[in-house]
């Protein structure tokens, strides 16, 4: 790989949540890292070999860190390959992504961790990191090789969409992970209440005749998980909080000083159960879309900092898996390209300050996983996004780069467009 030419981004609005800076400035990139950050003005005289990019007042932010991405590789490449996901990520300003372990084979062995890391290096687009399975086969019965997978390079362990039902097994996973300093991510849900559900219980689901799960199932699952965290002292990442009742439990856990961080998905910040409309299967996600009161509670939790990380929950599904009766259709939505403009809706609506929104997809997830990315600082990786905050965008699912086109944002008008994405100083996407 040849070295990228030195770059200077000038006349840009820098937003760096890690330092709290939001204002004019410039950034110099040399040999894949940020050589200098100039706050408040220009960079001064530059050598002739530096390529100068005039940002015309556009935003320059750290590359996004998306810690919950599904692909089909290995095993289900028609859904999504690591390369197609990486291309979609670059187009969406995502420079680092963590892929989920529920593939075929499951990422429950160091050799599969190594395979994903080698594939990512061969692709040479964005940074791709694997999450390892918490239990063998993501079946919730026997603990996976957590320590060996950590040594091989996995960033955290999770059984993805499957809750670990057996409390004894989950206690062992937490205790073992703590001994290696490994973060455990877990979906909070009561598996018995949620079995077979396609929607959230309530008047709308009843009218539509859909099998449903009461929102309290999420709180029940979270209360158990918090109790086991209190018992073991392990670090827990609550995988996609989506209900107001669970937020109350999360706040109580945080108030007790438990080492708990929570994510929510851009889908649950952008849609509610009514968006299902006339059985619109592209809006079928897991967890299911909730009521408007829950959506507003999530937005308030982002604003208060109770929820620190927003994920795309990118989950590709081909048309043949989506164009089925609603309760039979596969859950999931692609989201790598729509994450950033959809998140900016909360700024344009005056709900959350801009720097706080950008923190949830840059420095907060990077700090959580111990990555050097997510910041505009001298010596940091030159993972950067030049972004037009006000550019109108009409989402056309057919034009998305992902191999699968299952986007609930299809036809929606958003504001915010990625103009250029850099990884290690290399331009991996440019409009």
Interacting residues of 372 by C-beta distance below 8 A, sequence separation 6+? 366, 380, 381
Instruction: Give per-residue pLDDT as tens, 90-136.
Output: 999 999 999 999 999 999 999 999 999 999 999 999 999 999 999 99
At 205 the pLDDT is: 94
pLDDT band at residue 3 using 50, 70 and 90 as cut-offs: low
CA distances from 347 to 63, 351, 394 (A): 18, 6, 18
Instruction: Give per-residue pLDDT as tens, 364-409.
Output: 999 999 999 999 999 999 999 999 999 999 999 999 999 999 999 9
| Structure-token match 């897991």, residue found | 286
The overall average pLDDT reported for the chain is 96
Listed residue (148, 160, 168, 224) closest to 192, CA to CA: 224
- Determine what percent of the chain falls in helix, strand and coil, rounding each to the nearest 5: 35, 25, 40
Q: How far apart, in whole angstroms, are the C-alpha atoms of residue 195 and residue 197?
A: 6
Instruction: Give per-residue pLDDT as tens, 358-369.
Output: 999 999 999 999
pLDDT band at residue 46 using 50, 70 and 90 as cut-offs: confident
pLDDT band at residue 2 using 50, 70 and 90 as cut-offs: low
CA angle 249, 250, 251 (to 5 degrees): 90
Instruction: Give per-residue pLDDT as tens, 174-225.
Output: 999 999 999 999 999 999 999 999 999 999 999 999 999 999 999 999 999 9
Q: Which helix (H) or strand (E) holds 206?
A: helix 203-208
Are 227 and 252 a contacting pair, CB within 8 Å?
Answer: no
Residue 237 has pLDDT above 90, yes or no: yes
Complete DSSP assignment for 129-177: EEPEESBGGG-SSSB--HHHHHHHT--EEE-TTS----HHHHHHHHHHH
Assigned token pair, 396: 């056309």
At 43 the pLDDT is: 84
| Structure-token match 């504001």, residue found | 415
Q: How far apart, in whole angstroms, are the C-alpha atoms of residue 198 and residue 333?
A: 14
Residue 143 has pLDDT above 90, yes or no: yes
Instruction: Give per-residue pLDDT as tens, 7-16.
Output: 999 999 999 9
Q: In percent, how much of the chain has pLDDT > 70? A: 99
CA distances from 377 to 300, 364, 366, 388 (A): 29, 15, 14, 21
At 431 the pLDDT is: 61
Which fold does the domain 63-369 belong to in CATH? TIM Barrel (3.20.20)
pTM of full prediction above 0.75? yes
């Amino acid at each position: 790989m040849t070295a990228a030419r030195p770059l200077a981004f000038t006349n840009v609005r820098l937003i760096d949540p890690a330092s709290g800076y939001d204002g004019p400035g410039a950034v110099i990139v040399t040999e894949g890292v940020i050589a200098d950050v100039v706050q408040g003005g220009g960079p001064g005289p530059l050598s002739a070999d530096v390529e100068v990019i005039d940002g015309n007042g556009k935003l320059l932010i750290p590359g996004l860190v998306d810690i919950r991405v599904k692909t089909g590789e290995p095993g289900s490449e028609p859904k999504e390959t690591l390369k197609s996901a990486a291309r979609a990520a670059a187009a969406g300003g995502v420079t680092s992504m963590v892929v989920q372990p529920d593939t075929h084979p499951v990422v429950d062995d160091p050799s599969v961790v190594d395979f994903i890391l080698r594939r990512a290096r061969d692709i040479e687009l964005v940074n791709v990191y694997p999450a390892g399975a918490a239990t063998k086969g993501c079946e919730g019965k026997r603990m996976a090789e957590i320590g060996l997978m950590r040594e091989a390079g996995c960033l955290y362990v999770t059984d993805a969409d499957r809750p670990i039902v057996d409390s004894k097994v989950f206690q062992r996973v937490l205790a073992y992970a703590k001994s290696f300093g490994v973060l455990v991510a877990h979906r909070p849900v009561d598996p018995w209440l949620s079995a077979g559900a396609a929607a959230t219980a309530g008047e709308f689901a009843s009218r539509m005749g859909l099998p449903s799960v009461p929102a309290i199932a999420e709180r029940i699952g979270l209360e158990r998980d918090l109790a086991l965290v209190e018992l073991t002292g392990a670090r827990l990442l609550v995988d996609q909080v989506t209900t107001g009742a669970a937020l109350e439990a999360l706040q109580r856990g945080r108030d007790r000083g438990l080492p708990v961080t929570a994510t929510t998905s851009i889908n649950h910040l952008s849609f509610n159960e009514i968006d299902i409309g006339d059985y619109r299967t592209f809006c079928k996600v897991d967890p299911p879309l909730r009521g408007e009161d829950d959506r507003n509670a999530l937005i308030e939790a982002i604003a208060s900092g109770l929820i620190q990380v927003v994920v795309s929950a990118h989950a590709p599904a081909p048309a043949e898996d989506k164009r089925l009766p609603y309760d039979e259709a596969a859950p999931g939505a692609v989201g790598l390209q729509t994450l950033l403009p959809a998140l900016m809706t909360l700024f344009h609506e005056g709900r959350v300050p801009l720097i706080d929104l950008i923190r949830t997809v840059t420095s907060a997830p990077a700090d959580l996983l111990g990555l050097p990315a997510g910041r505009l600082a001298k010596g940091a990786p030159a993972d950067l996004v030049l972004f037009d905050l006000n550019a109108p965008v009409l989402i056309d699912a057919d034009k998305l780069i992902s191999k699968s086109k299952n986007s609930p944002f299809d036809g929606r008008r958003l504001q915010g467009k990625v103009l250029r994405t850099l990884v290690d100083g290399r331009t991996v996407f440019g409009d």
